Chain A
Amino acid sequence: MSIFKKKNTILSPCDGEIVELKNVKDELFSSGLLGYGFGIKPTQGEVFSPIDGVVTNAFDTGHAYSIEGDGIEVLVHIGIDTVELDGEGFSARVKQGDKIKRHSPLAYADLELITKKGYDTTTVVVIPTELKSPKLSLGNKKAGEIAIEYR
């Protein structure tokens, strides 16, 4: 194996404040049962892919995406309980089967509308596959900045 192997990283999907998963107001995600991850309180609605990979699922409702690549799987879930909006406020930038580069557009979310409808816009990134010694970087981030490093 090359000693120049790049560090494994998962990027922030949007501009905003990264919080620990346990502080996300969704019992299922915060329980950690679905995997390691984080929440981000977005300050703008453009959402980008956290990893290089293939879009394995893009929900019709535009609020959730799964991407597989680099030997891991990532779920990006925009907002809490936003499945109930049935697509309102979301525009997908990808479809199932698309190849996607890290930090390229995944979806657009109309944060103002989602908030007005009474939903929390906190976006959750969970990694259901095992990560080796993951390290989360909290606080304000720009989309594309490193959120998680792992071995």
Chain B
Amino acid sequence: MKSFTFTIKDKNGLHARPAGVISATSKGFLAKITIKCKEKEADGKRLLSVMALGAKCGQALEFEIEGKDEEEALSALKSVCEEKLGNDI
């Protein structure tokens, strides 16, 4: 299993657009992708599950990725996070 933690910098938090990109990206991999935030847990491939985390600016998302393409999934999700949630705008 691979994992990484990403702290949200976008002031709007994990809203529809970044959640959409995360779920669409996750769907492209075989690996099981779980995202944790505080006490909540989401299936990374399900848009509404990811949105329901209600993750806000400053909160940490913990990604857990398990499967044979976990390496590729990890790097894709890391760059999606940087691009969509990494800017303080």
Give chain A's interface residues, CB within 8 Å of chain B: 28-29, 33-35, 56-57, 59-61, 64, 66, 68, 73, 75, 77, 83-84, 86, 126, 128
State the Cβ distance, B81 to closest chain A Cβ, in Å: 16
State the Cβ distance, B34 to closest chain A Cβ, in Å: 17
Contact A73 B48 (CB under 8 A): yes
Inter-chain CA distance A33–B18, complex, in Å, is 13
Contacts of A35 in B (CB 8 A): 47
State the Cβ distance, A98 to closest chain B Cβ, in Å: 14
Contacts of B23 in A (CB 8 A): 34, 128
Interface flag for B16 (CB, 8 Å): yes
State the Cβ distance, B51 to closest chain A Cβ, in Å: 6
Interface flag for B52 (CB, 8 Å): yes
Contact B16 A57 (CB under 8 A): no
Contact A57 B52 (CB under 8 A): yes
Contact B48 A66 (CB under 8 A): yes
- Chain A interface helix/strand/loop/mixed: mixed
Interface flag for B20 (CB, 8 Å): yes
Inter-chain CA distance A75–B51, complex, in Å, is 10
Subset of 13 A-B contacts with CB under 8 Å: A29-B20, A33-B24, A34-B20, A34-B23, A57-B52, A57-B54, A59-B15, A61-B15, A64-B16, A66-B51, A73-B46, A73-B48, A75-B51
State the Cβ distance, B76 to closest chain A Cβ, in Å: 14
Inter-chain CA distance A62–B42, complex, in Å, is 21
Contacts of A28 in B (CB 8 A): 16-17, 20-21, 24
State the Cβ distance, B33 to closest chain A Cβ, in Å: 15
Contacts of B20 in A (CB 8 A): 28-29, 33-34
Within 8 A of A (CB), among B59-76: none
Contacts of B16 in A (CB 8 A): 28, 64, 75, 77, 83
